[in-house]
Amino acid sequence: MNCVEAVARAGRETGRAGHPPGAAAAGSSTFLPVTDYDLAATLEGGQAFRWSACAEPPAAVRSWEGVVAGRWIRLTAVPGGIWAEAALPQRDWRWLTDYLGADENLGAVLATFPDDAPMREATAACRGLRLLRQEPWECLASFVLSSTKQIVQIREMVRLLCERFGDPVVVPPGRPPAFAFPDPDRLAAAGEAELRACKLGFRAPYLRAVAQRVAQQDPDLARLRDRPLAEARAALLALPGVGPKIANCVLLFSLGFRQAFPLDVWVLRALRQLYFPRRRVTFRRLEAFSATHFGPHGGYAQQYLFHHIRQRAGRDARRARVRNSDIQA
């Protein structure tokens, strides 16, 4: 069954029975029942960098292909949930449900957001956006590469890194080769010139140094989720090239600390434009505001603000191009 046939079947059966036949059985595809899930916003919103959008004819159904925990996977939004396909049979799909955060009560999370106009606007614009639960090492390494780079450039660096240093994974016939994310031991042993060949630039020595530390379990990333937030953050900040933004991204997108609030240029823009318009506010003021205003799921709120302000900037840019073309005409 190809992707289009699977989507059509899932949609038909979801309308009658809530899931396609055989969804609970072991196999290479399954239906994950979940409502309020925006795959595009979640997979393309700057949390992870290994997903590629694809569309299969004749229906041009949009899907995303990526590698999670060393497994090739394709995801498609269907009525009532997500259709997932793997290249190899899976006995249990809980690992994917956990990665996608599909078991989370999104309504309960959104109810903790502050009831103010900017947050209501962001929630309405981005409803269905979820936080992923990524593998800590891949998340850390990816965000070490993110410094001064846009999402498309980070994806390119991660892709080259995986192709050069990662182990190949099984893919379905006819699909491009795919690779697991390289483990810290492999990158720790790599030469700086090899890393720079993946377009890492000045980030190469930092990634290598971080890999060397993590390979020695200094820190043990998996155990950080069991420590208090301040201790986990301090352990990450002790790594070469890791500042508050990178540390908070790792805490939020892989270690489960929902209070972590990464402050990048987009989020700072959102805070200034939506909460402090026509006022000059310092970074420290915005940092203190973000730590207290957004509640126990502040990091979740941060991702909604991040995605909303980027969407709004994109719409503004498209309108400006249209106006300019009208003037030139």
Assess whether pLDDT exceeds 90 at residue 65.
yes
pLDDT category at 8 given cuts 50, 70, 90 is very low
Alpha-carbon span 140 to 251, nearest angstrom: 9
Question: Which residue type is seen at 81?
Answer: G
Instruction: Give buried/exposed letters for 184-212 (b at 16+ CB in 10 A, else e).
Output: bebbbebeeebbeebbbeebbebbbbbbb
Cβ contact 246:144 at 8 Å: yes
For the chain, list the domains and their CATH numbers: 3-103 (3.30.310.40), 113-124+258-319 (1.10.1670.10), 132-256 (1.10.340.30)
The pLDDT of residue 59: 58
The pLDDT of residue 61: 76
Q: Which helix (H) or strand (E) holds 309?
A: helix 298-328
Average pLDDT of the residues in 171-183? 95
> For the chain, what is the mean pLDDT?
89
Average pLDDT of the residues in 62-72? 95
Average pLDDT of the residues in 95-109? 97
The pLDDT of residue 308: 96
Cβ contact 164:194 at 8 Å: yes
DSSP structure string for 56-98: ETTTTEEEEEEEETTEEEEEEEETTEEEEEEEEEES--HHHHH
The pLDDT of residue 25: 35
List of E strands, 202-298: none
Assess whether pLDDT exceeds 70 at residue 29.
yes
The pLDDT of residue 233: 98
Assess whether pLDDT exceeds 80 at residue 317.
no
Tokens describing residue 257: 């600390």
Alpha-carbon span 1 to 180, nearest angstrom: 25
Average pLDDT of the residues in 49-68? 84
The pLDDT of residue 148: 87
Number of helical H runs and strand E runs in the chain: 16, 7
Cβ contact 181:50 at 8 Å: yes
Tell me the C-alpha to C-alpha distance, in Å, between residue 292 and each of 93, 130, 254, 297. 37, 21, 22, 11
Question: Which residue type is seen at 228?
Answer: P
Tokens describing residue 181: 């994310």
pLDDT category at 21 given cuts 50, 70, 90 is very low
Any bridge partners for residue 31, and if so which?
83
- CA angle, corner 100, sides to 98 and 106, nearest 5? 95
Alpha-carbon span 156 to 176, nearest angstrom: 15
Assess whether pLDDT exceeds 70 at residue 32.
yes
Average pLDDT of the residues in 149-173? 96
Helices 117-126 and 298-328 sit at what angle, rounded to 10 degrees?
A: 80
Which class for 244: exposed (0-12), middle (13-18), buried (19 or more C-beta within 10 A)? middle
Assess whether pLDDT exceeds 50 at residue 20.
no
Per the model's pLDDT, the better-predicted residue between 26 and 305 turns out to be: 305
The pLDDT of residue 16: 35
Segment among 9-23, 227-241, 251-265 with least mean pLDDT? 9-23
The pLDDT of residue 321: 63
